[in-house]
Chains A and B, each alone.
Chain A
Amino acid sequence: MNEQEKDDDLELELDRVSSLYQKIPDEEFSPEVRERIRATARRAVRRGLLERLLSGILGSATGAVTASSSRLQMVATASLFIAVAGLAGIFYVQSQSGVQPLLLTEEEERIPLLKDAEGILKDFNRISEMQPAKVVAESGQAELSEVVKELKDKKSTLSSAAKILEEKSRSKDSKNLLKAIDILDDQINQLEKTPNQ
């Protein structure tokens, strides 16, 4: 049997095994896991857009001044910059409220909800500074409902995590989460009052 015939035999046998393997019943990933992955993907896209926007704003503001471009462009850029800076300032102050990162034990790291809460707190200050800027970010058409929805998702996750930690007598961490929830509440309230751009 030459090499080609051996390869063909191998492929044939793999096909047979594959065919039997396909008869093993499929299983589904849990809806929570699927939704968590989708939420992570959405957050990553938002963060990417925002980072590009912020660097773009700084670049265009500098460019507008040095290149003597039209007065209209300067006014528009400056307005946008002021809006972002102003709103970011509000939230920057809020982000200095002492929310600490959540440290989990090895066992707790296996609880998806706590792992999510850990991730939210890890990015907490950065996110709270960036969220309002994001509102202004998307071509001046504020997508308030999207941002508010995301903040509410985070609040819900932190609330559930706080309950788990409370049950584990981790009152200090639980209070830390409640503090973060209060800040999210303030952000939600302020964003809900913000008129569309």
Chain B
Amino acid sequence: MIQLIASLLLRAAVVLTGAALATFALLWHAPGDPALAIAIARYQAVVPAEVVDQVRTEAGLDAHFWTAFQAWVGPLLVGDFGQSSVTGRNVWPELVTMISYTLPLALAGLIIGLLTSVPLAYVATRRPGGWLDRCAVALASIGAAIPAYWLGLLLILLFAVQLGWLPAMGTRTPAHIILPALTLGLGVAASLTRILRSGILEARGQPFLPAFRRRGVANRDIERDHVAPHAAIPVVTVFGLELAFLLEGVVMVEVIFARPGLGSFLVSAIEARDFPKVQAVVVLTAVLFVTVNLLIDLIYRALDPRIGERDA
């Protein structure tokens, strides 16, 4: 067990190092002169070459690739995300503010998704192939094909522009979160319904269940000891998938609804070519993603002993 966890941790460490290296290499080789971009952003004017060179030295852009990489990763390991190349301010406090905007939105989206999909999947699987089931599957298929940005625009069009019931842009009042959360939540609901539906059907269709029943095992015990563990595996998978979906959705939704948050922070940092900020968001995403997947991997092995045997 300890060996297993050690090998999984080593794997995560290798992956994160690779991800950091890939990110850094991408930004290092980005076209255009980052020093010039920073100088222009900083002084809001056309700047002479000497100033650009000075900025280049200050930002460490004239260093060798590996030196620069070390200069970035070293502080990163102790949680220092560096300074914005445009404003010179520390990235971390700003990042925390952005997370405080994004987290409620993502949670609200997830809750809306769960509240829609769990009852829908439950009702649908009561009679597989029935009209309710077909409707649920059709809705989920259509939902999975609707891009978040279009759904968001349609919701704005209907509820903010035509009906005037809800505010759309910004974060001034608590009501401002309804439309963006709905956009995220409906997307989550579409993918969750499909996964939950097939998970429940598969768990109920296990061939050993009738055998237990005939042997006189109580229905409650079967549900607890045999159906639940089988249904739990897809549920765990769902969390990995939904995390990816939420992170992607947040980028689009925040841009559409002009909300501050990690997604709009990332897009505006890319546009301003403020690479320390871009790196910070990317690394944060990767750490979150890899950690959650590591946990999922461990839970899988706890839930399903067969997985551990196959691939340690």
Do A and B interact with each other, yes or no? Answer: no
